[in-house]
A and B are shown apart, each in its own frame.
Chain A
Amino acid sequence: MGKPGRVSSLAGDGGLFIPGCSLDSEACSAYQAGVVCLCGAGLLPGTMSEHIHLSLALCRIGFYTCLRALCCKAPPPPRPEFDVVCIGLTGTGKTHLLARLCSESTEGIVPTTGFNIKAVAFPNAILNVKELGGTDSIKKYWSRYYQGSQGVVFVVNSACSQAELETSRAELYSALQHPQLCTLPFLILANQQDRPDARSAHQIKKYFELETLARGKSWILEACTTENMETVKLIFGQFISLLEEKEQEPSRI
């Protein structure tokens, strides 16, 4: 059944599909022919089980995919996708956060004057994020993008002025009550924690009065900074769990 450490599975028709092959079973012609797929994995006929038919159709695969086969990297099963809208005042760091989540350069980021659509991959889900600019001229159009969302990411600059925090709160309340968002999970990020004057997550949570005003809704509020992306990813992982739970709820017509 192949070399030790290598996972292999017998197909019903006698073909042996080695998951290390970079092709999935449907694309691998050897598998389809019901024969052993070596895929350059270096398996020798002598190690094959005598039950396995030994006509070999070698898949012609380049060096890179041989490397993948040797590393036992199977094609991953497709991840669930969720459509999410990302809002917050200008300067709160939305574009920056998303760029960092996608391992992209943050060089040359300027205030967003429209939308940025991005697919952000996490280990167990893909978030299709619609990030919207937060300047006064753009935020009046936010609601045009709410339809079809399954979750909301609301970003706050933890070190902003009191006036700005008040405006943030008003916008958050507006979103929490909007008919197209009011039943959705919310992730509220107290961002820019690296700033010396950053308020704590606790302070912001208290100021936003979420315990009372968002009661009965599904939400998380966490502190974060792009200086610590591991924490950001963990927080998004929690948010994805909320999205999955929501998805599993029976839908009401």
Chain B
Amino acid sequence: MSYSCRGAEPVRESRGCGTCSDRDSDSDRDSLGTDAPRRERGAMRVKKGCNSTDAGEWVCTEEELLKKPVISPEDVLGLQKITENYLCGPEENVHSIDFTRFKIRDMETGTVLFEITKPPVTDSGVEKKDLDPNAGRFVRYQFTPAFLRLRQVGATVEFTVGEIPINNFRMIERHYFRGQLLKSFDFEFGFCIPSSKNTCEHIYEFPALSEELMHEMILHPYETQSDSFYFVDNKLVMHNKADYSYSGGP
């Protein structure tokens, strides 16, 4: 299964454009979230992003979490680096959550920088068990250096839900460069209607990156990585990964 993918460069940079390539043929989306501060009220809120300099933040390792029967949101908030393994298998997605579209746009100009959609599933007669079980859990992004100069992007994710209603759907996404946590996002969607298709756009404020760090990130493609964890009723049901190049080339 292949994606249609369209990229556009930020208005102020003349080189190259944001493109993506799927390492696997059937990739799911990976999203950037927002840490825009919101009041603590009700469902569908963004919790402020944390960083590793917060005092009192607890830490844990992937090995510790893999021993647990159920992984909770609080558990993954203790991870300090990208995981080596997926923390859950694809079979744990019992609610049939499927990510169907992902789009990034520059909030200052409105330019769509990147868009990827998943074509509707057709009955191809291929047995699901014959496909690579981890297909669709990883996406590789290729951006130009100008991407790191953006201040605010809107990241839209579209997803469908199966027939079982979801009481509380939550996403935690953590971005790292080498061993350093750059940003953590925590977004609660709350209730999801059965058999629905939903979209959500987060405004993503770029973390303040020093010139040196940006330089390093550009020089070392794919060493910027992210883990996206999805929870239904505080239980981990999906785990996707992505890596990023900002050097403008493959």
Question: Which residues of A does B touch, CB under 8 Å?
Answer: 27, 60, 62-65, 67, 81, 83, 102-104, 112-119, 121, 126, 128, 130, 133, 138, 141, 144-145, 147-149
Nearest-Cβ distance from residue A90 to partner chain B, whole angstroms: 14
Given A114-B193, A114-B196, A119-B201, also A147-B110 (CB < 8 A): no
Q: Which A residues are in CB contact (< 8 Å) with B191? A: 141, 144-145
Contacting pair B36 A81 (CB below 8 A): yes
Q: Which residues, 150 to 201 on B, are CB-close (under 8 Å) to A? A: 154, 161, 189-193, 195-201
- Please give me the 5 A-B residue pairs with the lowest Cβ-Cβ distance, nearest first: A148-B42, A114-B196, A114-B198, A147-B42, A117-B200
Q: Which residues, 100 to 128 on B, are CB-close (under 8 Å) to A? A: 105, 107, 110
Q: How far is the CA of A104 from the CA of B115 in the complex (A)?
A: 13
Q: Which A-chain residue is minimally distant from B34 (CB atoms)?
A: A119
Q: Which B residues are in CB contact (< 8 Å) with A102? A: 110, 154
Question: Which residues of B does A touch, CB under 8 Å?
Answer: 12-13, 34, 36, 38-39, 41-45, 105, 107, 110, 149, 154, 161, 189-193, 195-203, 208, 211
Contacting pair A117 B190 (CB below 8 A): no
**CB-contact partner of A117 in B12, B42, B199, under 8 A:** B199
**A-B CB contact pairs (8 Å), 9 listed:** A83-B39, A113-B197, A114-B198, A115-B196, A117-B198, A117-B200, A117-B201, A119-B154, A141-B191
**CB-contact partner of B42 in A62, A83, A104, A114, under 8 A:** A83
**CB-contact partner of B36 in A63, A117, A118, A119, under 8 A:** A119
Contacting pair B161 A114 (CB below 8 A): yes
Q: Which A-chain residue is minimally distant from B11 (CB atoms)?
A: A64
Q: How far is the CA of A141 from the CA of B45 in the complex (A)?
A: 19
Q: How far is the CA of A235 from the CA of B221 in the complex (A)?
A: 47
Contacting pair A115 B198 (CB below 8 A): yes
Given A60-B211, A62-B149, A119-B36, also A141-B198 (CB < 8 A): no
Q: How far is the CA of A224 from the CA of B41 in the complex (A)?
A: 31
Q: Which B residues are in CB contact (< 8 Å) with A104? A: 105, 110
Q: How far is the CA of A200 from the CA of B198 in the complex (A)?
A: 33
Contacting pair A145 B43 (CB below 8 A): yes
Nearest-Cβ distance from residue B55 to partner chain A, whole angstroms: 19
Q: Which A-chain residue is minimally distant from B165 (CB atoms)?
A: A141
Contacting pair B199 A145 (CB below 8 A): no
Q: How far is the CA of A63 from the CA of B149 in the complex (A)?
A: 11
Contacting pair B199 A83 (CB below 8 A): no
Nearest-Cβ distance from residue A194 to partner chain B, whole angstroms: 23
Q: Which A residues are in CB contact (< 8 Å) with B41? A: 83, 147-148
Q: How far is the CA of A58 from the CA of B34 in the complex (A)?
A: 31
Q: How far is the CA of A115 from the CA of B105 in the complex (A)?
A: 20
Known contacts A117-B199, A119-B203, A145-B191; 12 further A-B pairs (Cβ under 8 A)? A62-B149, A63-B12, A83-B38, A114-B199, A115-B196, A118-B199, A126-B203, A141-B193, A144-B190, A145-B43, A148-B41, A148-B42
